[in-house]
C-alpha cells in the first residue's frame, strides 16, 4: 500500500479541522492514519484514511469523532510527473469541488431535488494538492467489487445521479455564459499525448495477444495499424459537438469512482455518490456512458441491455433539462440521442479493449501508475499481463468483432 504523505501530521489535521469548524481552539485528542487502498485499486491519487478524536473550544468536555479521507497526488518519479502535468488533474478537481459542485447542487434544489450526488469537501489545500472529505464509509457507503462489477440495480442508481449531474452542468454553463467550457483536458485532449503510453501501449498489448489467437489474429493486425492514429481519433471523439447538449462530463465513471449504500436487511443498493472528478471535461455525456458501461457492468448486462440503459438515462437527462428550462441547444429526442451515442462509440471500444483490462486486474505485480503510463520494459510487461486474464479474453472475443462491424478498428474514422 502507498504510505501516507509525511506532511499529513497531527498539526496538519488539526489546522484543517480548525478551518472547517472555524474554531481556533479545537484540539485533537487522538489520531490514527492508515492507507485506504492497495496497489491496483486506484490510479488517480493516494487515498489515506484518518480517524480523529477532537474537542471544540466550547464545550471543552465533549469529545467528537471524525472519520476522514485525505486524497493527495501520486508521488511518482519525475518522468511520470512530467507526463501528467498537462492534465492538471489535482487543481481541476479542487476547483470543481470548491466552485462547481456547490452550484450544481443549488440548481437541483431549485427544482425540489435535494438528494446528494457527490460528497462535500471539508478542506482543500492547493499547496499540497490535497482534498479532505468526510469518510463516506462511516455513513454506510462502500465501494462495490470492481472485479465482479455491477448489476442493473446498481447501474440504474448511477445513471439517475449521472443524468442529473450532466443536466445541471449544461444549465450552469448556459446561465454563466460558457463558464465550464474551459474544462478541456479530458483523457484525450489537444494539449498533450501524455496518456499514449497507457492508451496506445494497452492497444498494442491487446493486439499482441490477439495475434496469437487464430480467430482474432486479423483483428490484432487492425489494431496494430490503428495504433499510430489512436490518439488523434480519441481527440476527435472528445471534441464537443456544436448544436448538441454538451455537459461537464465526470470523465472517469467506473466502479471505484462511485460509492454505494446498501439496505442492511435486504442487501440491495439504495443510494450512490459520484466521487473523483479529476478528469472532468466539457463534452458529450455519451462518453461517460460508454466508459461506464464498458468498464463496470456485469455480463450479459453490458453486452445485451445497453439500449434500455441509454433510454433510462435519456429520460432523466431530458426531464431534468426541461425542469431547469435549458434552451441553449435543442434537447435531443431519444432517437437523436441514440445517434449521438453512435457518434461517440469509439470510446466504448477504447474502454473495452484498453481500460477495462486495467480496472478488473487482480495481478498486483508492477501495478502502479508508473507502469501504467510508461512504455518502458516494465510498462510493457505490466500491460501484456493484463491480457492473460480469462475474463478480459472472453470480453475481447465477444466484443471486438462487434466493434469491427461498427468500423471502430478502421484507421479512417472521420465523423
Lowest mean pLDDT among 56-60, 201-205, 309-313: 56-60
| Cβ atoms 283, 238 nearer than 8 A | yes
> How many CA atoms, within 13 angstroms, populate the side-chain half-sphere of residue 319?
12
For cell 449521438, name the residue: 340
**Predicted local distance difference test score (pLDDT) of residue 43:** 45
Q: For the chain, give the mean pLDDT.
A: 93
pTM, two decimals, is: 0.92
152-175 and 306-323 helices, crossing angle to 10°? 30
Consecutive H or E run containing 270? strand 269-274
For cell 491480457, name the residue: 387
**Predicted local distance difference test score (pLDDT) of residue 45:** 67
Q: How far is CA 300 from CA 206, 286, 296, 394, 398, in A?
A: 22, 20, 12, 12, 11
**Predicted local distance difference test score (pLDDT) of residue 82:** 82
Q: Distance between CA atoms of 57 and 320, rounded to whole angstroms?
A: 44
Q: Distance between CA atoms of 144 and 281, rounded to whole angstroms?
A: 25
**Predicted local distance difference test score (pLDDT) of residue 44:** 54
152-175 and 101-110 helices, crossing angle to 10°? 100
pLDDT digits (tens, 9 = 90+) for 9-60: 999 999 999 999 999 999 999 999 988 765 444 445 688 999 999 999 987 6
CA 290 to chain centre: 12
**Predicted local distance difference test score (pLDDT) of residue 3:** 67
**Predicted local distance difference test score (pLDDT) of residue 40:** 43
**Predicted local distance difference test score (pLDDT) of residue 366:** 79
What value does the mean pLDDT take over residues 196-218? 97
| Cβ atoms 165, 279 nearer than 8 A | no
Retrieve residue 54's grid coordinates: 477532537
**Domain residue ranges of the chain, discontinuous segments joined by +:** 10-72, 82-118+140-405
Provide the 10 A C-beta neighbour count for residue 316. 18
pLDDT digits (tens, 9 = 90+) for 95-147: 999 999 999 999 999 999 999 999 989 999 999 989 999 899 889 999 999 99
Q: How far is CA 108 from CA 102, 140, 398, in A?
A: 10, 24, 40
- Assess whether pLDDT exceeds 70 at residue 75: no
**Predicted local distance difference test score (pLDDT) of residue 2:** 55
Cα 412–Cα 404–Cα 205 angle in degrees, nearest 5? 90
**Predicted local distance difference test score (pLDDT) of residue 36:** 76
Provide the 10 A C-beta neighbour count for residue 264. 8
pLDDT digits (tens, 9 = 90+) for 159-184: 999 999 999 999 999 999 999 999 99
Fold of 82-118+140-405: Aminoglycoside 3'-phosphotransferase; Chain: A, domain 2 (3.90.1200)
pLDDT digits (tens, 9 = 90+) for 351-382: 999 999 999 999 888 778 788 888 889 999 99
Retrieve residue 240's grid coordinates: 464537443
CA 210 to chain centre: 28
Q: Largest alpha-carbon pair distance within the chain? A: 73
User: Helix, strand, coil % (nearest 5) of the chain?
Assistant: 50, 15, 35
Give residue 5's pLDDT band: very low, low, confident or very high (50, 70, 90): confident
pLDDT over 70 for what percent of the chain?
Answer: 95
Amino acid at each position: 500500500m502507498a504510505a501516507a504523505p509525511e506532511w499529513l501530521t497531527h498539526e496538519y489535521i488539526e489546522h484543517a479541522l480548525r478551518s472547517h469548524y472555524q474554531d481556533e481552539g479545537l484540539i485533537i485528542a487522538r489520531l490514527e492514519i492508515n492507507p485506504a487502498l492497495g496497489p491496483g485499486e486506484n490510479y488517480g491519487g493516494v487515498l489515506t484514511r484518518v480517524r480523529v478524536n477532537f474537542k471544540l473550544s466550547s464545550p471543552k468536555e465533549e469529545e467528537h469523532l471524525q472519520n476522514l479521507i485525505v486524497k493527495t497526488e501520486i508521488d511518482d518519479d519525475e518522468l511520470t510527473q512530467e507526463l501528467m502535468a498537462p492534465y492538471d488533474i489535482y487543481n481541476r478537481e479542487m476547483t470543481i469541488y470548491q466552485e462547481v459542485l456547490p452550484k450544481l447542487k443549488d440548481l437541483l434544489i431549485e427544482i425540489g431535488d435535494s438528494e446528494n450526488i457527490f460528497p462535500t469537501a471539508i478542506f482543500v489545500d492547493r499547496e499540497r494538492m490535497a482534498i479532505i472529505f468526510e469518510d463516506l464509509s462511516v455513513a454506510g457507503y462502500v465501494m462495490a467489487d470492481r472485479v465482479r462489477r455491477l448489476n442493473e440495480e446498481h447501474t440504474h442508481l448511477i445513471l439517475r445521479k449521472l443524468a442529473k449531474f450532466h443536466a445541471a452542468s449544461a444549465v450552469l454553463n448556459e446561465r454563466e455564459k460558457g463558464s465550464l467550457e474551459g474544462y478541456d483536458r479530458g483523457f484525450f485532449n489537444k494539449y498533450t499525448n501524455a496518456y499514449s503510453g497507457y492508451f496506445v501501449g494497452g492497444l498494442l498489448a491487446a493486439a499482441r495477444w490477439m495475434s496469437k489467437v487464430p480467430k482474432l489474429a486479423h483483428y490484432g493486425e487492425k489494431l496494430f495499424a490503428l495504433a499510430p492514429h489512436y490518439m488523434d481519433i480519441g481527440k476527435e471523439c472528445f471534441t464537443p459537438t456544436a448544436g448538441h447538449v454538451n455537459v461537464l462530463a465526470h470523465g472517469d465513471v467506473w466502479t471505484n469512482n462511485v460509492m454505494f449504500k446498501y439496505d442492511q436487511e435486504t442487501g440491495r443498493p439504495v443510494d450512490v455518490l459520484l466521487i473523483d472528478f479529476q478528469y472532468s471535461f466539457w463534452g458529450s455525456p455519451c462518453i461517460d456512458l460508454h466508459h461506464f458501461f464498458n468498464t463496470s457492468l456485469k455480463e450479459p448486462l453490458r453486452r445485451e441491455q445497453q439500449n434500455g440503459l441509454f433510454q433510462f438515462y435519456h429520460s432523466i437527462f431530458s426531464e431534468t433539462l426541461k425542469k431547469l428550462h435549458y434552451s441553449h441547444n435543442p434537447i435531443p429526442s431519444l432517437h437523436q440521442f441514440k445517434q449521438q451515442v453512435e457518434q461517440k462509440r469509439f470510446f466504448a471500444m477504447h474502454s473495452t479493449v484498453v481500460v477495462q483490462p486495467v480496472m478488473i486486474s487482480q495481478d498486483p505485480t508492477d501495478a502502479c501508475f508508473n507502469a501504467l503510463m510508461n512504455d518502458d520494459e516494465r510498462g510493457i510487461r505490466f500491460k501484456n499481463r493484463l491480457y492473460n486474464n480469462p475474463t478480459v479474453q472472453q470480453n475481447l472475443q465477444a466484443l471486438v468483432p462487434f466493434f469491427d462491424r461498427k468500423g471502430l478498428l478502421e484507421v479512417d474514422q472521420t465523423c
